[in-house]
Structure 1
Amino acid sequence: MKKLLLFIGAILFSTLFYDKRIGLNLFLFSIITISVLYVNNKDDFKNKRTLLYASLYLMTGLAVFFHDSLVSVIANFVTYFTLIGLLSQHKSSIYINWLNGLYTTIAGLFHRNFTFNEATQEVEPKKNVDYIHLIKIIFIPSIILIIFIGLYQNGNPLFSKIIASIDLSFINVQWLLFAGLGYYLLSNIHKPIEVEPATEIDLKTGNSLSKTNAFSIPKLKQENQLGVILISLLNALILLFLITDITFLITNDDVRASVFSSQVHSGINALIASIVIAIIILLYVFRGDINFYKDNKTLKQLAFTWIILNIVLVLSITAKNGQYIYYYGLTYKRIGVLVYLTLAVTGLITTLVKINKIKNIWYLLRLNTKAAFIVLIISSTINWDYHITNYNFNYAKSMDFNYLIELSNNNTFLLKEQAETKVLGQDSIKRIEDKYNKYVYELRTNSWQELQYDNLKLETK
């Protein structure tokens, strides 16, 4: 039954994806994948985390159907690897899930059927299968059969006519190879496996720091003094910067767009880098036994102050980016800055918790990779092209029309609506019409595997 399901899945895989664009097929394949995983790992699907990740996997597949964006496709792949990896080991960190999911997808079948013999330094089959005999019983009879068909064709005109009348042109070799790829893929993942060294190390590594044998009061006193001086100076510097920066923002209500443009391009990257460096410095200062030094309260208070001031710095950068968006409109780059700032705040808060609760760097890695995963999933559900276009037409003080027209087809219907309701130049209207007509033709020629939500919208127009 399980083998039959793999064969059916392979046929469906080729039916869905062979010579087709991404659309409804990715969501349908998500259902097939979960079905194969459920049949072979029923007990694992009693786990709440498994159900959660399976639901997220389906959700990203639906996001691709509603708006076929690169972000949603990437999110679908990432949740796929996360779900596969979770089934290999429920207690591992999310980045180990990604590793196990990727390894299973590429080499699961090989891993389950072969092993590396340390003594002979050779790869050996885990099961006693005579592969040479298997090849013989497939290829030798086939070759001999073909030879005899050729001989009999020359000896019997009627037999030759029957053989000649057999039309095998309906067989699509590429389609069959694609089905073979689908079978290999599903065979790999149906029983997920783990990368043993990495998974084992992850499971053994906790989140808390512990005092080392090298604990030395005199050395820690010196480290504490160095940390206090360094972070005090950094606090004074960032405080001075924030005072001047906030004063500039408050006292310049209507700053020219060119000024903000210059500040954003030249300043934001540097400020973002400063936040990353700030986190690295704090991780270095609180890397070991200094966490257990009884006179480190001043150092901790200074570190907490610096983290809070860095969060204020993030808010300042957000305000500048917001002003830039107000003048020039939304773009993916400006949205990317906001996403990064969200992750930066998360990193700063988790660093504060790490110092306060005496956690290790693995704690930060585990929490922040989860945060990045959540941000990716949320981002995949948003039709960014639509919202960028809508904001720029209706709220931005100036608009780069060329940028909007070069976005994906996710904003095509909205552009058409704007062309009908807004005063635009003839050239702009023509470019919108061209994009609209081309997209409508593409939708109307979509096969059922390539269907998108816009196909349904088109039918209602």
Structure 2
Amino acid sequence: MNPVIPLSEDSDAASMSSVPAASLSTIQKVLLPLGVVLFDWLFWREGGGVNMLVFTAFIVVAQLLMLPRHAAARRSGYFWLMVGGSLFGAAMMAVYGSGAAALACMASVLLLLGYVNQPHLKLVLYALLTAANSLAQAWLRVLRSVRAPRNTGAGVRRSWFYGRLFLVPLGILGAFHVLFAVANPRYEALSGQVLAQLGEWLGRLLPDISIGHLLFIALGFLVTAGVVVVVPVYYFADHESRFGEIVRRQRDRVASFGVRRPDFSFRHTRMLDLRKEFLAAAAVFGLVNVLLLAVNAIDINWLWFGFEPAPGFDLAQFVHEGTYVLIFSILLAMGIVLWFFRRNLNFYQPGLPWLRWGATVWVMQNAVLAISVGLRNYYYILNSGIAYKRIGVCFFLLLVFFGLATVLLKIWQRRSAYSLIRLNSLAVYAVLLLLAAGNWEVWIAEYNLQPRFRSIDVGFLLSMPGRTLPTLVAHRSQLDAAAHLTTEDQYGNATTIPAAAAQQQLNVAVANWRAHHAAQTGWQGFTYADWQAYEQLKN
């Protein structure tokens, strides 16, 4: 019997350190600390603006530097589309600093990382999931690649080993701390006091560092590690490789004595099943076309020509309820078409022409229904002004029209559901970039302060970003001329306020914003729109 030799801590550490781990390249070792320092310098206690443009440029340059000259990503149109989208969204952040621009910039960067990871991907959603999966693993890959300095004693190596060993438990502890703090207010209060005392002690020890700053630096490390270190994720690329752009006919065959030959009885049964499916589809398209024709006839007669809301007519409820129901109806119609044209019904020659024309008429009628939804939204804007949801409905209808056009492609070109999802995902991304390019808050304020509106939601206008304040000041007289000025109380209920109170709230908002803007000495959170607004208010 072989003797059992106990392992010491040193031998355990040595055996663990002998496990192979991917080492960082020279360019990654340079970019990782540079990115962490840049992230902290650009974003610590700063708003979004030029800093987003600078850090996005760093990400794009880092990807181009790390990609080999003949890498597949360099030949991918999706990769270059996301490079342009990232820089465009970041540029709009430097101009407007809007939430739409921030969302477009961050989504474009994630998509860029996804297409760098798997250049052959086409689905936008799969690229996002691939990037998120890589980001979640990148920081662990970096920590595993870190080794203790050479020519050191056993004590240093042991401390290095256990220090790395406890990083994962500490991360899990932090996650549970956040969960318990959200669920238990008393625990949140006690833990807040402990962290505050720890922060005071750390502040006395290191005057320029705090707990919050350390956590922010850790966040910068997580972000930069995900940008610099690419962890290959093949699951979504492998799953996407099963799909095709065109629906293929599925031939049913059975094996007999090792030779595959057609079973004619089974084929006959399959033809009967296709005939039943055709009759069901024809019945659905026929009946719903008749029903939708009646609905469209009513809407065209009621909404399209000379619509005037009657006195006391609740236009808001009319728009909200009708819009949501009609949008759901359109999406349901698109889903039913996708279901019936998913497989061999595309090749059922006896009834395929009738089926295609019936589905085409249904799609066109849904386009008419979408126009009616747009008119409902238009009448609401015409009578009550613009809000964020009204803009969202307009862009959603653009996507609906595009989606209906792709459904026609599926009907007449036998496009697969994968093809439709790919095209519509790109359309959603294009709409996101279009939203990022707009100075929507200023346009909303200019429209809602027209003299023809007798009611003005002052609370809504004052809750928008500071770049709208010059527009509010320029239309100050409308606050005195309006018949009703409303705002929200602390419970979210709409209340009416006098014109003098609205003018006072505007003066306070202008003074606070000017003081806040003047107190900012750094350029990191600078946006052109804020600078322009400050100059206009100063003059």
TM-score range, shorter chain: 0.7 to 0.9
Deviation at 1:353, TM superposition (A): 0.7
| Equivalent residues in 2 for 1:239-250, closer than 5 Å | 239-250=293-304
Q: Is this contact kept in 2: 1:6–1:36, CA < 8 A?
A: no
2:500 maps to 1:426:
yes
Task: Provide the residue aligned with 1:162 in structure 2.
Answer: none
Task: Provide the residue aligned with 1:149 in structure 2.
Answer: none
In structure 2, which of residues 10, 14, 38 is the aligned counterpart of residue 12 of structure 1?
38
SS in 2 for 1:346: helix
Task: Provide the residue aligned with 1:401 in structure 2.
Answer: 458
Q: Is this contact kept in 2: 1:223–1:290, CA < 8 A?
A: yes
Deviation at 1:128, TM superposition (A): 11
The structure in which a higher percent of residues are helix is 1
Deviation at 1:168, TM superposition (A): 6.5
Report the count of equivalent residues: 424
In structure 1, distance between residues paired with 2:141 and 2:412? 43
In structure 2, distance between residues paired with 1:254 and 1:140? 78
2:319 maps to 1:264:
yes
Deviation at 1:370, TM superposition (A): 1.1
Alpha-carbon RMSD: 2.8
In structure 2, distance between residues paired with 1:251 and 1:341? 20
Deviation per CA, 1:257-288: give whole Å up to 9, x if none. Answer: 73533421231111111101111111111121
In structure 2, which of residues 320, 332, 339 is the aligned counterpart of residue 284 of structure 1?
339
Structure 2 segments unaligned to the other structure (5+ residues) = 1-25, 161-203, 253-266, 482-498
- How does the TM-score come out when normalised to structure 2? 0.72
2:64 maps to 1:38:
yes
| Equivalent residues in 2 for 1:83-232, closer than 5 Å | 83-92=112-121, 93-110=123-140, 136-137=155-156, 169-170=206-207, 172=209, 174=211, 175=213, 178-214=216-252, 216-232=270-286
In structure 1, distance between residues paired with 2:433 and 2:509? 29
In structure 2, which of residues 415, 422, 439 is the aligned counterpart of residue 359 of structure 1?
415
Against the structure 1 CA distance between its residues 357 and 276, is the aligned structure 2 distance closer, same or farther, given a 3 Å change threshold? same
Deviation at 1:176, TM superposition (A): 5.3
Q: Is this contact kept in 1: 2:467–2:530, CA < 8 A?
A: no
In structure 1, distance between residues paired with 2:338 and 2:74? 38
Against the structure 1 CA distance between its residues 204 and 228, is the aligned structure 2 distance closer, same or farther, given a 3 Å change threshold? closer
- How does the TM-score come out when normalised to structure 1? 0.84
Deviation per CA, 1:407-427: give whole Å up to 9, x if none. Answer: 232312211221168745322
In structure 2, distance between residues paired with 1:370 and 1:168? 52
Task: Provide the residue aligned with 1:327 in structure 2.
Answer: 383
2:379 maps to 1:342:
no
In structure 2, which of residues 425, 436, 444 is the aligned counterpart of residue 388 of structure 1?
444
In structure 2, distance between residues paired with 1:361 and 1:46? 26
Against the structure 1 CA distance between its residues 85 and 329, is the aligned structure 2 distance closer, same or farther, given a 3 Å change threshold? same
In structure 2, distance between residues paired with 1:131 and 1:199? 39
AA matched with 1:282: V
In structure 2, distance between residues paired with 1:403 and 1:309? 37
Deviation at 1:181, TM superposition (A): 3.7
Against the structure 1 CA distance between its residues 324 and 455, is the aligned structure 2 distance closer, same or farther, given a 3 Å change threshold? closer
Deviation per CA, 1:100-154: give whole Å up to 9, x if none. Answer: 11122221243588xxxxxxxxxxx7x896899999536759xxxxxxxxxxxxx
Structure 1 segments unaligned to the other structure (5+ residues) = 114-124, 142-166
Q: Is this contact kept in 1: 2:403–2:424, CA < 8 A?
A: yes
Task: Provide the residue aligned with 1:52 in structure 2.
Answer: 81
Against the structure 1 CA distance between its residues 112 and 294, is the aligned structure 2 distance closer, same or farther, given a 3 Å change threshold? farther
2:288 maps to 1:234:
yes
Deviation per CA, 1:317-374: give whole Å up to 9, x if none. Answer: 1111101110001001111211221222222111111121112211111111111111
Deviation per CA, 1:30-51: give whole Å up to 9, x if none. Answer: 1121122222115344655433
Task: Provide the residue aligned with 1:453 in structure 2.
Answer: 528
In structure 1, distance between residues paired with 2:226 and 2:88? 23
In structure 2, distance between residues paired with 1:49 and 1:71? 21
Against the structure 1 CA distance between its residues 451 and 315, is the aligned structure 2 distance closer, same or farther, given a 3 Å change threshold? same
SS in 2 for 1:211: coil
Against the structure 1 CA distance between its residues 194 and 445, is the aligned structure 2 distance closer, same or farther, given a 3 Å change threshold? same
AA matched with 2:525: E
